[in-house]
Every structure is written in C-alpha cells, then in structure tokens.
Amino acid sequence: MNKKEVLKKIREANKRAEKREKEAEKHWFKPRKLYRKGGEFANQPFETFKKLTYPKARHALETTEKKIQRNVEERMKKGENPNVLEIGPGPAPFQSPIRTSGQKVYLDVQEQFLKDKGKAAKIKHDVTKGHLPFKDKAFGPTIINEVLTHVEPQKRTKVIEEITRVSDEVMITDRYIEGKKSEKAVNPEKLQKELTSKGFEVEIKKVKLKELLKKRELRYLDPEVVENAGYFVIHAKKRKKK
C-alpha cells in the first residue's frame, strides 16, 4: 500500500469517526473536552489514554471491589443469592471482577460492550432515560464505573435515585475536576450528599491525576486539569434499620 492509499484510508476513517461522534452527541455529554489540551486528545499515547479511561488498576478501586466481594460472600454464607448489576461495563476485560451465586447483569447503551461477558444477563439500556428496568431492591451491589461523566449534569440525580432504588450497595468511580472547569464534571461531594439522603453510609477515596500519571504523560493535559483533576471511588452501603 503506497502513501497515497494510506492517507486516503486515514481520511475515510476520520470521516467515519466524525460521523459516530456527531451521532453520539445526540445522546451523550462529551466530558473529555474538559480534559483536552489543544483539542488533540487522540494524539496521546495509548497507555495514557487507557489510564485516563480505565482506572481499574488504581489501589482505591481494587480495595473497594474487595470490600464489596467480602460483603457478597457474607450474604452467600447466610443463604442469600445477591444479584450484581454493572452499568456501563465497557469492553472486556474491564468489567468488575465481583463474583456471586446470584445473577450478574450487565447493562450498557452500546450493544458492542455487552459481548464477551460470559453467562451474565445482558441488557441494552440508556440510563439517562430515567428508569432502570428492574424491581425495587432487585440487586445487592451495583457497580457504575466511569458512566456518570457521560451523563448530562442535570440527569445524574435521577440516575442515582434509580441505582439506590434497585440496590442496597453502590460503587461509583469517575473523574473529578475542581476549579473553573468543574461545572459539568462529576462532583463526588454532591454524590455523597445524594446517597446519604437515601439512607446510605458513604465513603469517598480521591486520588490526584498528577499522582497517577508520569510527567511525560501529563504534558498532554491542560495544566489546570493536572493541578485540579483526579479519580474518585465512592462506596455506599444502605444503613441497617435498628
């Protein structure tokens, strides 16, 4: 393949990507504009992009998953079979490793992300529509990794209401940013207040972005983001009635 053909294929791929982006913008808030430097997010090395998109390796996330796993196992010992819901699992193998004797359910707006998920139930659904297609208290834990950042700010409260309606334990991970750019970013303190008002005990762990990435990776980000952004993990569990 000569240089001319390669350039042609690149232009065609860019057009397809632009078309997908325009279609997606009808449904999703695009948060990465908050993080870009010069608008060239795609020029980042793959490893940096992976770290920004999938903070699965972070210690705070792993310890929270282990805590949820212990809670699930305790319920199984009591003869319960807690169902586990994961919203927005993303492509394999990035879904959470929570194991249960109950039903595991994956829910995502994109059908392609529901493939390769084994025997778990798979449901295509847009959480921004307001109602989750499940009965009250249908699940033990619900996992929602890097989903709220794709939900328009005014719709996030309804998503939280639905999650707390169908489950009694919640893990939320996402990016946060403080300062001038914080208006549309996910606010962990606001989530904490909303979850507390629903009768949940809430724990937040926050890690600054500059603690996660190397200096050579940070140069691709807006300086304000480097100083004020990071990841958070929220673990919330329904208070037991006395």
DSSP string, 164-192: HHHEEEEEEEEEEE-SGGGSSS--HHHHH
Sign of the CA dihedral with 225 first, then 203, 47, and 215 last: positive
* pLDDT over 50 (residue 49): no
- Residue 222: pLDDT band by 50, 70, 90 thresholds? low
Whole-number Å distance between alpha carbons of 151 and 184: 10
* Closest CA relative to residue 135, chosen from 155, 162, 156, 109: 162
Kindly give, in sequence order, each residue whose CB lies less than 8 Å from that of residue 20, ignoring residues fewer than 6 positions away. none
- Residue 235: pLDDT band by 50, 70, 90 thresholds? very high
Instruction: Please state, in angstroms and as integers, the Cα–Cα distance from residue 4 to each residue in 10, 16, 43, following that order.
Output: 10, 19, 22
Whole-number Å distance between alpha carbons of 175 and 30: 13
Q: Among the CATH numbers 2.60.40.1260, 3.90.1520.10, 3.40.50.150, 3.40.50.720, which is that of 32-238?
A: 3.40.50.150
Instruction: Using the CB atoms, write b or e for 175-192: b if 16+ within 10 Å.
Output: bbbeeebeeebbbbeebb
The residues facing 104 across adjacent strands are 84
Whole-number Å distance between alpha carbons of 2 and 31: 37
Per-residue pLDDT of 116-163, as tens digits, reads 777 788 888 888 887 899 999 999 999 998 888 888 888 899 999 999
Q: What is the DSSP letter of 31?
A: G
Instruction: Please state, in angstroms and as integers, the Cα–Cα distance from residue 164 to each residue in 51, 129, 144, 218, following that order.
Output: 28, 16, 12, 36
Q: Which long-range contacts (CB under 8 A, 24 or more apart) does 74-78 make?
A: 75/140, 76/100, 76/101
Mean pLDDT of 194-210: 90
The residues facing 124 across adjacent strands are 108
- Where exactly are the structural domains of the chain? 32-238
Reported pTM: 0.74
The dihedrals phi and psi of 68, each to the nearest 5 degrees, come to: -65, -40
Q: Which of 47-61, 180-194, 198-212 has the lowest mean pLDDT?
A: 47-61
Q: What is the pLDDT of residue 2?
A: 74
